A and B are shown apart, each in its own frame.
Chain A
Amino acid sequence: MVLRSRPTTGLTAPSRRGRPRLLALGAVSAALALTLAACGDGGRDTGDGGDGGSSTPGGAAPADSAPWTLGTTETVTAMDPAGSYDFGSWNMQYNIFEQLLTIPAGADEPVGDAAESCAYDDPQTITCTLREGLEFSNGNPLTSSDVLFSFERNLAINDPNGSSVLLGSISNGDPEAQALADGAIETPDDLTVVFNLNQPDTTFLKLLSTATTSIVDEDTFPADALQADDAVVGSGPYVLESYQPGEQAVLARNDSYTGERVGAAPQIFVTYFNDPAPLRTAISSQQIDIAWRTLSPTDLASLEEEGNVDVLRGEGSEFRYWVWQTGKGGPGKDVAVRQAAAQLIDRDAIAQNAYDGTVTPAYSIVPPGFGGQKDSFAETYGESPDVDAAAAILADAGIATPVPITLGYTPTHYGPNAVDEATEFAGQLNDSGLFEVELADAEWEEYQNLYKEGAYDLFILGWYPDILDADNYLTPFIRDGGFFANGYSNPEVNTLLDTELGETDTAARDGQIGQLQDIVATDVPLIPSWNGQNVAVATPQMSGVLETLDPTYIFRFWDITKSE
């Protein structure tokens, strides 16, 4: 057959994989079609056909960038914000939709996105004012009623894969028929949204910057069901142009977007990987431009050594910790035993030996960088292990040594290195002569049942925050046994948590959070192990990648550029 160039009309091809987008109907499509046609000849030139959205009034002018490709092992559960609770989906939604607020790269506090501003009137009331002239990519206007609609349907759909659980402060709390609480959101006019929370909640403002609160078009999204993945319409900096589950997603710049997050590249390809091994080869041979989540520590170390591509490390908020089972009558019921283990753990050795130094030792259950964070465990037990101190703790409590304990871990869910961490930690405890550790493992599914049943005295779990707030590392873990139901309960902790959640004075709240961490270090319901870094690998042509690697794990596609 004769070799012919690709069809020159990118957008008018009959039915593209992943189906044609609504965008094709929009007025901007002509300009975009030109852009794509240019790409179609194989030359990946710099996007804008001269009359695209390169200089958008009100927004920052996008830097010139070629289209680029991201490779990731994250999966997409749903493009619809009401149906997902995972990185893969959320990061697509950050691009496709606007939220009321957004957290710029490296910032702690959210700034306006669809909203010009959002502020607490009191700890239970938030008022947001929308920007004027907002529009979805299909041309429909975005008003306060779309905001109301988005929250309503998220709670009403209550999808099993969804994240409506985060919206507890505006939910009616009915497990049978979850819905938006009466009067929880008021829309006095097209540009104003008022949230009336059912409890003082100082973290809710930050929640308005997460993908679960993405604003969807009330004219195209069903109110009681999820929208199909390839039919989602938002107002974010990019539109989803085509999507083939498990293979790739193609994003094209939304030229009607007028906010701060204007996309630099005209087109972005996201390639999905099921296994880290091909992802590693793909980035090292530069067949893709960026690999983000998740390469193994060995891969990262060797890529760094080879030096062809840049291994970029930003601060992360991933948290790995060991939970003591305190409620089932095992050795964990004695606070002295728990303290002794906290005295013995050598976090540096774990980070180095099990993870090739790709993680940072954690000395508090709240990771560094959060308001009120303090390294309580380092203050209480020192940074290095101390066998004598541990022996003293046990002797004072009259506990016979060695204490036999079962250490539980799960071999695949937290990556292949979890077993190395368990082996390392078990070795440290055994070497002290104070503990006699038996290692036990189970696949993730059964592991959860087993730790809840009390099969392990000390077991490993991991955590990613939903919102960047210290409370997101406290309430889920230490209020009445936490979500892992380890039997720990301390009335003082519960009271402090309530106070901290309703406290609007930052300094006072930081103090309360510090106090909570100190109590945790004394009571040791869990032992913090390490904090993850937010790591990406990029080719030298890429810029803006390192900046977006912050603890939010929002991968800001719009800020990233590729030079020719």
Chain B
Amino acid sequence: MSTPAHRRRTGGRVRATARRAWRTEGLARWILLVGLVVTTVFVLFALFAPWIAPYGFDQNSSDGVRFPKTSGPGPGHLLGTNDQFYDIFSRVVWGARTAVLVVVLSVVLSAVIGVLLGLVSGYLGGWFDRITVFLMDALYSFPSLLLAIVFSFMLRERIGGSILAAALSLTAIYIPQYFRVVRNTTVAARQATYVEAAEALGARPITVMRRYLLPNVTSSVPVIGTLNAADALGTLAALGFLGLGIPPNEAADWGYDLSRALDDVAAGDLGPALWPGLAIILLVTALTLVGEGLSETLNPTLRRPRRTAVVLPARPEEAP
């Protein structure tokens, strides 16, 4: 009896969801599956980058011999090299590590902050709720890319380390999304009889929130999370394009590599831009598929219900 009740319940929920996802009929399952497989590949890249990549992310020579500049695929360089003498395959693999790191950091941070704020705000109500809703709406009406630009300018120097800066600037963008969903669900769930009963029995607010509200409201978080992760990757690439990417000697950033390779594209050399671009598209697509698959399995209105056909006698069509 050592597991607290709410944790058991959440654990059960996850298992139930997984079971439900697996049992879902047709396309939704495949979508989820394909998305998960591709995402897993990239996560493996990220975890085992030092063993998968033949070279370091900022390595431009080996045994004292400089790599060739913008060479095509060939022995020694699976996907060729780019105009900074880097091995493209290694950069793509190491880039997965940066991408996963940034995305996980930003999604986890924004989910935690957004969920907590939404929970408290929805539960407490009153002025606190109104002001928070208002502030979040204001934040939400910022063009997200712009917010990311300003934040990355601001943060990079403040905290050093561009990866953290990128993650934090993306965090700011996504908080309102979790907040909105969680707050609205909380407001609805508050009225539920069991919550009112718990309150009547004298449960402290923190207990009510933790035990009764939190498990209820978090079901939509994974969906938002994966979709945000996809969006975060796109925004990271956009920052790279605008010259605010992560410097090549700090980490491998697909967005940076892509933006550096754009003049190679103009020159007719597609290689250096193709692979990081493809990596971005693949991972964003995979994450979106996971998100869609999840939302279809979790959202009962979209699950294909079993239906017994009711056949009524046909009637000639009428003109309206």
Contacts and interface: CB of A to CB of B under 8 A. Distances in A.
**A and B in contact, CB less than 8 Å:** yes
Interface of A: 276-277, 280-281, 284, 296, 298-299, 301-303, 305-306, 353, 411-412, 416, 419-420, 422-423, 427, 439, 441-443, 445-446, 450
A299 B157 contact: no
B146 to A, nearest CB: 16
15 contacts: A277-B266, A280-B263, A280-B266, A281-B266, A299-B267, A302-B264, A302-B266, A305-B267, A353-B66, A412-B244, A419-B249, A423-B249, A439-B249, A443-B157, A446-B156
A284 to B, nearest CB: 7
Contacts of A450: 157
Contact of B69 (A276, A353, A445): A353
A299 B83 CA distance: 12
Interface string B253-286: 0000001101110111100000000000000000
Given A299-B266, A412-B244, A441-B247, 5 more contacts: A277-B263, A411-B247, A419-B247, A423-B249, A439-B249
A427 B269 CA distance: 27
A442 B157 contact: yes
A276 B84 contact: no
B96 to A, nearest CB: 22
Contact of B243 (A301, A306, A411, A439): A411
A87 to B, nearest CB: 20
A353 B247 contact: no
Contacts of B61: 427
B220 interface: no
Interface in B76-114: 83-85
A302 B156 CA distance: 34
B262 A277 contact: yes
Interface of B: 58, 60-61, 66, 69, 83-85, 153, 156-157, 243-244, 247-249, 259-260, 262-264, 266-269
B153 A296 contact: no
Contacts of B259: 416
A301 B69 CA distance: 13
Given A296-B263, A443-B153, A416 B247 contact: no
Contacts of B243: 411-412, 416
A553 B233 CA distance: 41
A156 B153 CA distance: 35
A392 B244 CA distance: 42
A284 B69 contact: no
A563 to B, nearest CB: 27
A414 to B, nearest CB: 12
A206 B206 CA distance: 76
Nearest to B269: A302
Contact of B84 (A284, A420, A442): A420
B212 to A, nearest CB: 47
Contact of B263 (A276, A442, A443, A445): A276
Contacts of B247: 411, 419, 441
A299 B156 contact: no
B157 A446 contact: yes
Given A284-B266, A299-B263, A420-B84, A443 B156 contact: yes
Contacts, number: 60
Which of A427, A442, A443, A450 counts the most B-chain CB atoms under 10 A from its CB? A443
A296 B261 CA distance: 11
A450 B158 CA distance: 12
Nearest to A300: B263
Nearest to B158: A446
A303 B243 CA distance: 23
Contacts of A446: 156-157
A301 B267 CA distance: 9
B239 to A, nearest CB: 12
B84 A302 contact: no
B279 to A, nearest CB: 20
Contacts of B249: 419, 422-423, 439
A450 B157 CA distance: 10
Contacts of A298: 83, 263-264, 267
Which 8 pairs from chain A and chain B are nearest by CB? A302-B267, A446-B157, A298-B263, A412-B243, A299-B263, A296-B263, A280-B266, A439-B249
Contacts of B69: 353
B29 to A, nearest CB: 42
A411 B60 CA distance: 19
A296 B60 CA distance: 21
B248 A419 contact: yes
A276 B264 CA distance: 13
Nearest to B69: A353
A423 B153 contact: no
Nearest to A352: B69
Contact of B60 (A277, A412, A416, A423): A423
Contacts of A281: 266
Contacts of B60: 423, 427
Contacts of B248: 419, 423
Nearest to A416: B260
A296 B262 CA distance: 11
Contacts of A303: 267
Contacts of B260: 416
Contacts of A439: 249
B85 A302 contact: no
Nearest to B58: A423
A276 B266 CA distance: 11
Nearest to B259: A416
A475 to B, nearest CB: 31
A299 B261 CA distance: 11
B121 to A, nearest CB: 35
A306 B269 CA distance: 12
Contacts of A419: 247-249
A412 B247 CA distance: 10
A367 B259 CA distance: 32
A439 B247 CA distance: 11
Contact of A353 (B85, B264, B268): B85
A288 to B, nearest CB: 15
Contacts of A412: 243-244
B240 to A, nearest CB: 11
Contacts of B267: 298-299, 301-303, 305-306
Nearest to A411: B247
Contacts of A276: 263
A434 B262 CA distance: 37
A56 B279 CA distance: 63
A499 to B, nearest CB: 42
Nearest to A277: B262
A12 to B, nearest CB: 41
Given A416-B260, A419-B247, A419-B248, A302 B157 contact: no
B262 A302 contact: no
Contact of B268 (A277, A302, A416, A423): A302
Contacts of A299: 263, 266-267
A427 B69 CA distance: 16
Nearest to A412: B243
Contacts of A280: 263, 266
Contacts of A353: 66, 69, 85
Contacts of B268: 302
Contacts of A306: 267
A455 to B, nearest CB: 10
A299 to B, nearest CB: 5
Nearest to B162: A441
A513 B60 CA distance: 40
A412 B153 CA distance: 12
